[in-house]
Amino acid sequence: MGERTNPDSSPAQRAEQLRAELRRHEHLYYVLDAPEISDAEYDAQMNELKAIEAAHPELLTPDSPTQRVGGKPAEGFRKVAHSRPMLSLDNAYSEKDLADWNSRVCGLAGQPDVPYFAEYKMDGLSVALRYELDENSGDSRLTTAITRGDGQIGEDVTSNIRTVKSVPLTISATQRKTANTPPEFEVRGEVVMQKNAFARLNEEREQQGLALAVNPRNAAAGVLRTLDPVIVNKRRLFFYAYYLIDGGEYSLSSESATLKALVALGFRTVLGRPVIIPTQQPYFPPTVEMMMNFINFAETQRDGLNFEIDGAVFKVDSRQIQHRLGYTGRAPRWAIAYKFTARSGITQVNAITVQVGRTGKLTPVAELTPIFIGGTTVSRATLHNADFIERLGLKLGDWVKVERGGDVIPKVVEVIEDADHTRGGQPFVFPSLCPECQSAVVRAEGEVDFRCVNADCPAKLRESLLHFASRTVMNIEGLGEAVVQQLLDRKLVKSVADLYSLKKEDLVALDRFADKSAESLLEEIDQSKKAGLARVLMGLGIRFVGERTAVLLAEEFGSIEALQAASAEGLERVEEVGPRISQAILEFFADIENRDLVKRLADAGVNMTAEKRLRSAQLAGLTFVLTGTLPTLTRDEAKAKIEAAGGKTAGSVSKKTSYVVAGEEAGSKLDKARELKVPVLDEAGLLALLEASPGPD
């Protein structure tokens, strides 16, 4: 129970007493699920504190519970760079996928088994919370909250996150000492809308005659990006913490130590509560069998949880081994997300429509009788291509099995034919003309996809603009489908380069645009000029050039001019670029319209350069395999030095391996090297080999 008022206490003493009590009750209710007082008693204490602060404004503090919601709605969200990238995780869908990942981890770590840390994969929104030292009190205060955004840059949603009562506004020096945490740090985790809150939201929307929210994750995303914190507070979002970062690096020695620290700091965590996992101890599955046991347990608990999960995450527990394993271009090698088996349902195909993508690819889509699958109402599902429809033998009116798993687009997987589900009668004929522009469609020899060959097809342009503006490409916030369609309808843009010629008067003439929104979009477009070569390459829509390839090309060539001038041989020297990708790049830049597009982007001031990864040719043609722990170099540092000198690194030893670089606790790779008589170097030998290099040209 809360403490009663002491008639002899001063307003300052009573205010501080109430603040401490309210924070304690918020932690009990929103973090530990163990409330001690009723809502009415909590409200009475809150109202008493509000009255004291109103009568004595000098007593008001920024972290007071009364200040979780305050101020007028924001006019927009400023963009903030992350202290370190918020990366994605690689996915596993089967026991074999897990076994393969486990083998890679053990091989790279150079030891027969590696302890893992397991947790539920929450279906929420990633957010980073920054805490800074308050010099007056010695406490750490929440200063900034940033959404994941494109992984490099997110949006400042601090005013909204302050309303989330499972987020501590202040963390005391005592808590920091217990958690072994410095005064300034960052906590990362997931913002979720619980299932009961989601149900209430849809009840309200139904009463108001509004479209129902699709699922809790989308609803939480919409709420978090609401400009009015009062509305955010009403929706009662929750924050679950899983990472602790100090100085841009993951802190503490292990994932399990991080969990204990986050609990000590007052955060709600997935594994910190016995209602989620049968024991309060972290779970270390050292075998694939035990990982599958954890996954099966999670699936049995899934429907009983008050938040959505779509799988399990496994992380190498040891931070030292994590450093040794390092990262790929998009994900850590030391973690993997296992996605639950797709949920499915049976429904009827009412029609088949064809969508045109930015490359001109035609994709058939089944229009379905709506069906609820895995928390979402599904009314459309992909049919991939004409060959897929033919293999299924699909006809209009057929009953089909539809699957949906995680963020995967719903897909038709089979036609149902039994006594309860009669077959349809009308076969689907793939169109010979583009449904958008009525131009001829073609299918190149050896390809399964039909494509529209009209360079001016409006659908291709629409999808190209949306792709160009997306978060992982040029990150132009506010350039969504409705705005793009209006720009096309009014013939304000005919290519992505035209975005940089838009003026304020062009935008204010669009529906739902005023001076402020027009200025905001123009500022976003201007900011996108700084994105750099890798993102521009993704935005150009060159076939087969995705995020990873774009980064490798940018690092290799350093400028769009150098890339345009490259030969097939020069392109194929780039890691992961083979004949198919090099041919696609050559064909793209051979087209006069594409070269003109690049020139227009350059003339508009779009940055198409990157920091070039300098290489020498000293180790050209040599392949190295790293194993064990080196005395001073991490695995990523050794790999970078080898590649900078023109060499390549591989994950396994073969007859083609030039050298194996072995450190302490080198495992089976060292044995394999000896068996194949591959030369073995220690760190000193590697450095000596590198020092013999004349350096980059």
- The residue from 79, 121, 339, 460 that is catalytic is 121
Residue from 498, 517, 499 nearest 509 by CA: 517
Strand pairing report for 90-92 and 335-339: parallel
Residue from 261, 115, 237, 235 nearest 182 by CA: 261
Note if 79 is an active site residue: no
Q: Which residues pair with 316 in a beta bridge?
A: 116
CB 165, CB 26: distance < 8 Å = yes
Residue 13 CB neighbour total at 10 angstroms:
11
Q: Record the tokens describing residue 203, joined without a space.
A: 């009840």
**φ, ψ dihedrals at 7, nearest 5°:** -60, -20
- Using CB atoms within 10 Å of the CB of residue 604, give its burial: 0 to 12 exposed, 13 to 18 middle, 19+ buried: middle
Beta strands across the sheet bearing 249-250: 170-171, 140-147, 125-133, 185-192, 238-246, 249-250
CB 156, CB 77: distance < 8 Å = yes
| Angle made by CA atoms 44, 203, 380, in degrees to the nearest 5 | 140
CB 294, CB 118: distance < 8 Å = yes
Spatial distance between the Cα atoms of 212 and 194, rounded to a whole number of angstroms: 16
CB 214, CB 205: distance < 8 Å = no
Spatial distance between the Cα atoms of 618 and 640, rounded to a whole number of angstroms: 14
Q: In this structure, what DSSP letter does residue 341 have?
A: P
**Contacts of 625 by beta carbon, 8 Å cutoff, 6+ apart:** 649, 650, 651, 652, 653, 657, 659, 660, 661, 669, 673
Residue 652 CB neighbour total at 10 angstroms:
11
CB 576, CB 552: distance < 8 Å = yes
512: left (phi over 0), alpha (psi -120 to 50) or beta: left
Write out the H or E segment, with its range, that includes residue 122: strand 116-122
Using DSSP's 3-state secondary structure scheme, residue 75 falls into coil
Q: Record the tokens describing residue 560, joined without a space.
A: 């769009």
Strand pairing report for 362-373 and 343-356: antiparallel
Residue from 570, 539, 93, 626 nearest 358 by CA: 539
33: left (phi over 0), alpha (psi -120 to 50) or beta: left
Residue from 284, 348, 23, 234 nearest 2 by CA: 23
Residue 344 CB neighbour total at 10 angstroms:
18
Residue from 233, 252, 234, 231 nearest 242 by CA: 252
Residue showing tokens 């043609």: 621
Which amino acid is present at 131?
Y
Which amino acid is present at 73?
P
Q: In this structure, what DSSP letter does residue 423 have?
A: P
- How far is the first Cα of the chain from the last one, in angstroms, to the nearest whole number? 73
Beta strands in 134-184 (DSSP E): 140-147, 153-155, 170-171
Residues marked as catalytic:
121
